[in-house]
Structure 1
């Protein structure tokens, strides 16, 4: 790109966050960087389940009581409820009990450190399995009663918003930078949840697609001028309990880590939150059911799936895949074309 790009990195939500942007108001570069860092730090403090003082933790301490919400929390809970409905309950924010029962009861860095210190590997010989803490409801019934007018919620099960907040924070910051901070071009990448804007078609943002089976390598490149992308995987955050390997993508129908035939999924489209939700949903449902539901529930979104059989699937429109070289260097084994309407 010919435009001068300013680069900034920070860490929040257990994620490396990278921001590159261009602005016509050069004097504001440092202020924009400080604003972005403050945004992610405050977002983590509000939504983390690993700090007792967070708003999320306070809500989880008051299960069965109606609680008042901040504007940000209300917005995220309404989005979470929308996507719970859209995915038929496969995305479920009220799975904290189940994920803790599986052993993920602290930040992953602390979990890995504790297990490695105890055993030399990321394994845990045994844990106390609290089945009463697991999500008491499955299917499409909601475990939270939101009153938008009153800005309140009544929870029936504890919340874990890690599956939506990171993408939400990226999309919210990108929108604010475009509308309020006069940032003409930018990319925000929070561990694979990303939003981009302002690049010319002749010189798009290039986003590497992580190779699912060869650590440290890329399997292709996604070229984007405007929009978003997110990748979800069952291969990254893994641990072993009593000889059983676990990962963080739980199937709400079984309250156990998904055993679907999809190991990794990248979704791209206009909105980072939608991309993140559907990448997770497809990983949990598997290729056949996930692709069918994805095609029926989304428009203008595309998905790249990596199966346990090491076959690569693409779901989207033929014209989008073949035009403008959006998916560069990507070799697919099976295409599932979306009918254009």
Structure 2
């Protein structure tokens, strides 16, 4: 979990969305109400386009398209384009076609509604039965045109590895562009900033729960911070405890070599793409991070902390 410590010259709001915490901070307190309306409107638009838990969303309608080309909104186009770009960047380690695999593993509804041993959602389960479950899908099967998309029948999309982070980026830019204030948006720990920042910067606490090592980083404008974790979004399925980050090649949760990986980049989208890929890559992630040079903090399963790319913390990690 990644959180923000607001300064005295900022105003903040928080609420729950998509089974996680939404946090909004602005450097001009008088704009906070308007800023919240902008963010909530963007969240609603993204949910209508990209949710795989709403039967009326565009993404759910794609699952019922039977492999036919389907017209899509500019919003869904932007999010599909981001997901496919993430797949290319990571060589397929971050793949939006894992939706069917997640359903097959029991993650078939908003995580806030997912109990430890809930039965499958009837509507989604019946859809799988009708179309068949494709286990060997990959992102190259998705054909994205200017205003339409085609996915094979039986391939389910999940944009969870990129959508939340891209939404944070879009919300931060929208608030700054319309109101001129400096802004920080955090969606479940995917953080994006835009515009002026507080005199002492945006102070971000990086920690994944009680008892986990924590640290604080200070960031400025037009920056993204994201943490991917094998400790969060876990559920029981057929007697096994699973987490939500799948290895696309196995259609199973990635081996938990890392407890968490946190990355700082020019956008939340890039940060979360890289942090998610690191979880999938396991021990190979360290050399990859060294090559791409992004600041990162990786916590191994045994608690060992590895910093990459000039990680800008304020001191030693502490429990």
TM-score by length of 2: 0.86
**Pair 1:2–1:240, CA change in 2 (3 A):** closer
CA distance in 2, matches of 1:218, 1:261: 16
1:136 equivalent to 2:133? Answer no
Find the counterpart in structure 2 of residue 177 from structure 1.
Answer: 175
Equivalent position SS for 1:95: helix
Find the counterpart in structure 2 of residue 234 from structure 1.
Answer: 230
Find the counterpart in structure 2 of residue 315 from structure 1.
Answer: 308
Map 1:76-87 to 2 at 5 A.
Answer: 76-87=79-90
**Pair 1:67–1:22, CA change in 2 (3 A):** same
Find the counterpart in structure 2 of residue 306 from structure 1.
Answer: 299
Structure 2: gaps of 5 or more residues: 1-5, 120-124
The answer to whether the Cα contact below 8 Å between 1:260 and 1:285 also exists between their aligned partners in 2 is no
The answer to whether the Cα contact below 8 Å between 1:45 and 1:54 also exists between their aligned partners in 2 is yes
The answer to whether the Cα contact below 8 Å between 1:101 and 1:134 also exists between their aligned partners in 2 is no
The answer to whether the Cα contact below 8 Å between 1:11 and 1:17 also exists between their aligned partners in 2 is yes
**Pair 1:305–1:2, CA change in 2 (3 A):** closer
The answer to whether the Cα contact below 8 Å between 2:70 and 2:150 also exists between their aligned partners in 1 is yes
Equivalent position SS for 1:330: coil
Give 2:207's match in structure 1, choosing from 206, 210, 222: 210
The answer to whether the Cα contact below 8 Å between 2:98 and 2:137 also exists between their aligned partners in 1 is no
Which structure's CA Rg is the greater one? 1
Find the counterpart in structure 2 of residue 72 from structure 1.
Answer: 75
Q: Which runs of structure 1 show a deviation greater than 6 angstroms over 4 or more consecutive aligned residues?
A: 127-131
Find the counterpart in structure 2 of residue 219 from structure 1.
Answer: 214
Equivalent position SS for 2:62: helix
Equivalent position SS for 1:327: coil
**Pair 1:310–1:69, CA change in 2 (3 A):** same
Equivalent position SS for 2:214: strand
Find the counterpart in structure 2 of residue 245 from structure 1.
Answer: 241
**Pair 1:132–1:40, CA change in 2 (3 A):** same
CA distance in 1, matches of 2:193, 2:184: 4
1:17 equivalent to 2:38? Answer no
CA distance in 2, matches of 1:231, 1:224: 15
> Displacement, 1:132?
4.4
Q: Aligned residue pairs: how many? A: 302
The answer to whether the Cα contact below 8 Å between 2:261 and 2:299 also exists between their aligned partners in 1 is yes
CA distance in 2, matches of 1:88, 1:114: 33
Q: CA RMSD in A?
A: 2.6
**Pair 1:5–1:210, CA change in 2 (3 A):** same
**Pair 1:96–1:54, CA change in 2 (3 A):** same
CA distance in 2, matches of 1:257, 1:45: 27
> Displacement, 1:110?
1.5
CA distance in 1, matches of 2:236, 2:263: 28
Structure 1: gaps of 5 or more residues: 119-126, 333-341
1:328 equivalent to 2:305? Answer no
Between the two structures, name the one with larger relative contact order (CA 8 Å, sep ≥ 6): 2
The answer to whether the Cα contact below 8 Å between 2:234 and 2:241 also exists between their aligned partners in 1 is yes
> Displacement, 1:293?
3.0
> Displacement, 1:143?
2.0
Find the counterpart in structure 1 of residue 122 from structure 2.
Answer: none
User: 1:115-172 CA deviation, whole Å, 9 max, x = no partner?
Assistant: 4xx9xxxxxxxx999794243335xx61200112xx1110122111122111111101
> Displacement, 1:268?
0.7
CA distance in 2, matches of 1:328, 1:209: 11
> Displacement, 1:11?
2.2
Give 1:55's match in structure 2, choosing from 55, 58, 63: 58
Find the counterpart in structure 2 of residue 7 from structure 1.
Answer: 12
